[in-house]
Amino acid sequence: MSTGTDPSATDPYTLTSDGVKEPPIGWRASLRYFGPGLILSASIVGSGELIATTTLGAQAGFVILWMVIFSTLVKVAVQIELARWTIATGQPALTGYNKVPPRLGRVGWVNVLWIVLALSKLLQLGGIIGGTAVALSILVPFGEPLGTTSLTVWTVVLVIVSIAMLYSSKYSLIERGAVVLVVVFSAVTILIALGLPFTPYAYGASDIAGGLTFMIPAGALGAAIAMFGITGVGADEITFYTYWCVEKGYARWAGPNDGSEAWARRANGWIKVMYKDAFISWCIYTFGTLAFFIMGAAVLNPQGVVPKGNDLITALSRIYTDTLGEWANVLFLIGAIAVLGSTMWASIPSWSRMYSNVLATLGLFDWQDPVARLRWIRIFTVALPILWGTAYLTIQSPVIMVQIGGVMTGVFLVAVVIAVLYLRRAETDPRLYGTKSFAVLLTVSSVAIALLGVYTLLQVFGLQIG
């Protein structure tokens, strides 16, 4: 966002003919234009993987490995389709959601559900701050490790540091920080997961094959549903990916739709860049997710260790200490801080944009006014970490807090699918639709998400199928 005399002159949310740029051709030329997917990965390779996925592996063992793969793969087509609409129109997700009928006054029904999701996410994001505070409390305790004083001090420190570092809300800063945080812990985790076969907690081809039988063992259904909602791209990640696509410049470089073939060619070119960006992101969070699950299934499950409450970090650290020795506990704690910190780093500016956007749809300010938009984003950059930290100090159970948010995310995915299909039909230029193969994948993904969302609702209300 510009700080000059005319902020709209370089505002990525304002499409003008002066802002157009020819898209790169090929992977090598596209590399410098990647970024939104890396921010997405920073958010995904965090609470879902470290907490929900590892907990599920500890609880269920390898038998539910298929759900990990399914949950990361099935939602990508919906993410790409919504980003396609964003590049075509220059509008972020919540602006589009608000157009889906029926409407309740100024606000659409999808945004009403989003508000409910946001309230449940106060718990999940509180769990992330809490998990990070627990790791810091063990590594550098104030008084007794995991004591009330130590946890409170570190929670307050995390809130203050997060606000100070992210207050500027600059896209370039957020992107660079996301890259560093993702690389640090993902690389270490994947290496340790690949090294497990050479330890007493070895796994083999039979374990992997047994995890691809499409079964959910008794007692693991709730954790599996939460994991589906959190791992891979959830409803919130699908939503905020559109903001980063705009702020990277994809929509502005495509320019306003003037109906010309030149615009369609540019827009399709930048959509292809977005495809590559999304693919790189998918590779990162899929391998990260598999690594966390395998560690939970191979190390914690045979010992009957399932992370609970503030013992989460201590239980998960056994993945490292039981594999590499006690010296690795410090390595794990630093890694846990990095991976949970990456989610905080990406989530605070992402949720600040979404909260601000929903207020704009309610008429509190004009989203196209860059000065007012930045003001509201900064207000939420301050307010949200405080709310999340308060939620953790009140409840102090990171696993439950994250899983509650995960279940609600799974439910909201159904509304996102409906919105995406509506916007594709009503507003996306047919010249940008993509291949028939993609249309088939989008249909399969939409049906799978809808069925699991319905199943989740039935389980929430205590209804059984079959």
Domains of the chain and any CATH numbers? 36-460 (1.20.1740.10)
Backbone angles phi, psi at 104, to 5 degrees: -110, 85
Report residue 224 as tokens. Answer: 């599996």
- pLDDT for residue 47: 57
Contacts of 386 (CB under 8 A, 6+ apart): 159, 163
- pLDDT for residue 383: 96
Q: What is the dihedral of CA 98, 100, 104, 106, to 10 degrees?
A: 30
440-to-299, 326, 338 alpha-carbon distances in Å: 39, 50, 38
- pLDDT for residue 363: 94
CA angle 289, 290, 294 (to 5 degrees): 120
- pLDDT for residue 150: 92
CA angle 110, 124, 315 (to 5 degrees): 150
How big is the chain by its Cα radius of gyration, in Å? 22
Residue 464, judged by CB atoms within 10 A of its CB (0-12, 13-18, 19+), counts as exposed
- pLDDT for residue 2: 41
- pLDDT for residue 318: 65
Task: Determine contact, residues 227/52, Cβ cutoff 8 Å.
Answer: yes
- pLDDT for residue 461: 57
- pLDDT for residue 5: 45
Separation of alpha carbons 243 and 354, rounded Å: 8
pLDDT digits (tens, 9 = 90+) for 13-33: 999 999 999 999 999 999 999
Separation of alpha carbons 140 and 341, rounded Å: 16
Letter string b/e over residues 189-203, b meaning 16 or more CB atoms within 10 A of that residue's CB: bbebbeebeeeebeb
Separation of alpha carbons 72 and 277, rounded Å: 15
Q: Is 147 helix (H, G, I), strand (E, B) or coil?
A: coil
How many other β-carbons are positioned within 10 Å of the β-carbon of residue 165? Answer: 15
Q: What is the pLDDT along the chain (466 residues), one digit of tens a residue?
A: 444 445 556 899 999 999 999 999 999 999 999 999 999 888 877 655 666 677 778 877 887 788 788 878 878 999 999 999 999 999 999 999 999 999 888 899 999 989 988 887 887 788 778 878 888 898 889 988 888 899 999 999 999 999 999 999 899 999 988 888 777 767 777 776 777 777 777 888 888 888 887 777 666 666 666 566 666 777 888 999 999 999 999 999 999 999 999 999 999 999 999 999 999 999 888 888 888 888 888 877 887 877 665 566 666 666 667 666 766 677 777 777 777 788 888 899 999 999 999 999 999 999 999 999 999 999 999 999 999 999 888 876 666 665 666 667 767 888 999 999 999 999 999 999 989 999 998 998 888 777 766 766 666 555 554 4
DSSP assigned state of 227: H
Q: What is the dihedral of CA 296, 299, 302, 308, to 10 degrees?
A: -50
- pLDDT for residue 230: 61
CA angle 88, 173, 83 (to 5 degrees): 20
Report residue 291 as tokens. Answer: 């690594």
Separation of alpha carbons 396 and 221, rounded Å: 23
The residue whose two tokens read 């921010």 is 39
Backbone angles phi, psi at 396, to 5 degrees: 55, 50
Separation of alpha carbons 362 and 156, rounded Å: 32
